Amino acid sequence: MSLVITLDAATTSSRAVLWRGDKVLSEVRTPVGVRDTFITGNNDMLARGMTGCMVGVCLKAGIAPEVVDLIVASGMITSSLGLKEVPHLTTPIGLDDLAAGMISESFPSVWHKPIWFVPGVKNKTGMVSGDDLPLMDMMRGEEVDTIALQQRLGAGGPCWFILPGVHTKFVRLSKNGRIMQIVSTLTGEMMEALSRHTILAASVEPCGDLNLEWLRKGYRVSVEQGLNRAAYCVRIAQHWSESSRADRTSYLLGALLGSDIITLKACGAAKDTLHVAGHEGLRTAFVALLNDDSAFKDVRPVDPALLKDLAGWGALLIARRRGLANGE
């Protein structure tokens, strides 16, 4: 039974998971991501972080690093800011395509064995004019999430996966489960930027209990009067309403999700099944607002148990399809 470490490197953090077959033996997280490459001008910090994570999961599980059979990396680690830039594959893409597109490279200062990288995915459009920018999109990391979620749900299309995060991704799957289209928004980054780096910082809190009533208030103003007006209303609420920071945070989230739901309608997602993933608060918020809108007929929140170790599991499935690992 193969011992595999999956590396999921994102913008601001990374995670290593050690697998024996389908079982997770240990995991280690680090606040190191590709943003550090941008800040420092080189990927030395990222490389040290990846080594630390991989050694860490081995020590945590009581296993010598030398006996690990395979390292599989996905996410922003395959970008120009990562360890190895891997060209995006072009939709439509399925499990077989991602497996065939994997590449390996040795980094002796990082690990004693080659690291295998899972490529990201882009829309088929390619280069576009300024008028056609919304037709193009891409992702690095969410493709392994999508593969894992599709396998766990047994989801048949046409359907969409809603993957909230720093960059929220809407991923359209075909009837046979292939990735057909990607649509991205900046919702996560916008929420953090507005909450921490604008005048609204005094009005909201980073993490608060979701208030569905205030979520819906923010959503309505955003859809009817625009996101900028809805965001400023958070400031008004602080001074001229009886509201808590948690209420106002919910209002701001509703305003941002109003923009996302406009995007979903624009790309034709309303007619298909929507599988909503993400952390509990975001998942609950999305589902509530989508169910309020009669345009959406089939909204399905994903069972949180199915989201556990999603990125690692997807990378493992792809590696197995390539013949690099086994689960027996």
Q: How far is CA 211 from CA 150, 199, 222, 246, in A?
A: 31, 22, 17, 7
pLDDT value at position 260? 98
> 301: which residues sit within 8 A by CB, 6+ positions away?
276, 283, 284, 287
- Whether residue 127 is contained in a domain is answered as yes
Find out whether 119 and 74 touch, Cβ atoms under 8 Å: no
What is the value of pTM for the model shown?
0.94
pLDDT value at position 125? 84
Copy the structure tokens of residue 169.
Answer: 């991704």
Copy the structure tokens of residue 161.
Answer: 């996966």
Q: The domain that contains 100 carries what CATH number?
A: 3.30.420.300
Element (H, E) at 247: helix 245-266
- Whether residue 286 is contained in a domain is answered as no
- Whether residue 228 is contained in a domain is answered as no
- Whether residue 271 is contained in a domain is answered as no
- Whether residue 161 is contained in a domain is answered as yes
Find out whether 274 and 159 touch, Cβ atoms under 8 Å: yes
pLDDT value at position 210? 96
What CA dihedral angle connects 9, 15, 18 and 21, to 10 degrees?
Answer: -60
- Whether residue 93 is contained in a domain is answered as yes
pLDDT value at position 155? 74
pLDDT value at position 328? 61
At 12, give phi and psi (nearest 5°): -115, -5
Sign of CA dihedral 187, 192, 198, 202: positive
The neighbour count for residue 55, using CB atoms within 10 Å, is 15
Q: Residues 87-105: pLDDT tens digits?
A: 999 999 999 999 999 999 9
Residue with tokens 């309020």: 292
Task: Give me the number of domains the chain comprises.
Answer: 1
DSSP assignment string, 145-167: HHHHHHHHHT--SSEEEEE-SSS
- Whether residue 163 is contained in a domain is answered as yes
- Whether residue 72 is contained in a domain is answered as yes
Q: Write out the residue range of the structural domain in which residue 117 sits.
A: 3-184+305-322
DSSP assignment string, 14-59: EEEEEEETTEEEEEEEES--THHHHHHSSSHHHHHHHHHHHHHHHH
Averaged over successive runs of 10 residues, the pLDDT of the chain (328 residues) comes to 93 94 96 90 93 97 96 96 95 97 96 97 91 95 97 89 95 95 96 96 88 98 98 98 97 98 97 96 97 97 96 97 87
Q: Residues 11-29: pLDDT tens digits?
A: 889 999 999 999 999 999 9
